[in-house]
Amino acid sequence: MSQLSNLVGENIRSYRRENEMTQVELAEALGVNTMTIKRWENGKNWPGDLSFEAMAEVFGVPVQEFFLGPMSKKDLNRVLARLHSEWGTSSSRAR
């Protein structure tokens, strides 16, 4: 499939491992079978909208992070500093 499918699959795997879940546990939490999780993680299949929303809830992240990946604190601070300098907004550093 596409590079985006591979990125999404890598992010799903990363969040699953970060949350110390097995593929079986994630499948049970989402109401899908384990092979579905394997296909998603390998970029061979694409989760539907409801699955993305359910995974976001399970992992406690916005849906967008499956497409972009997590932003490091360094990157977030860089973005906040740029916004502050360009727009004069108050920003605090990411913790």
Question: What CATH number is attached to the domain comprising 58?
Answer: 1.10.260.40
* Number of separate domains in the chain: 1
What average pLDDT does range 64-80 have in this prediction?
70
In a domain, 75, yes or no: no
What average pLDDT does range 22-34 have in this prediction?
97
The per-residue pLDDT for range 38-60, each reduced to its tens digit, is 999 999 998 988 999 999 999 99
In a domain, 12, yes or no: yes
Whole-number Å distance between alpha carbons of 80 and 40: 33
In a domain, 23, yes or no: yes
Of 31, 10, 13, nearest in space to 22 by CA: 13
In a domain, 85, yes or no: no
In a domain, 53, yes or no: yes
In a domain, 8, yes or no: yes
3-state DSSP call for residue 11?
helix
Whole-number Å distance between alpha carbons of 74 and 33: 37
**What string of DSSP letters covers 32-91?**
S-HHHHHHHHTTSS---HHHHHHHHHHHTS-TTHHHH-PPPHHHHHHHHHHHHHHH----
Domain with 26, as residue range(s), is 3-70
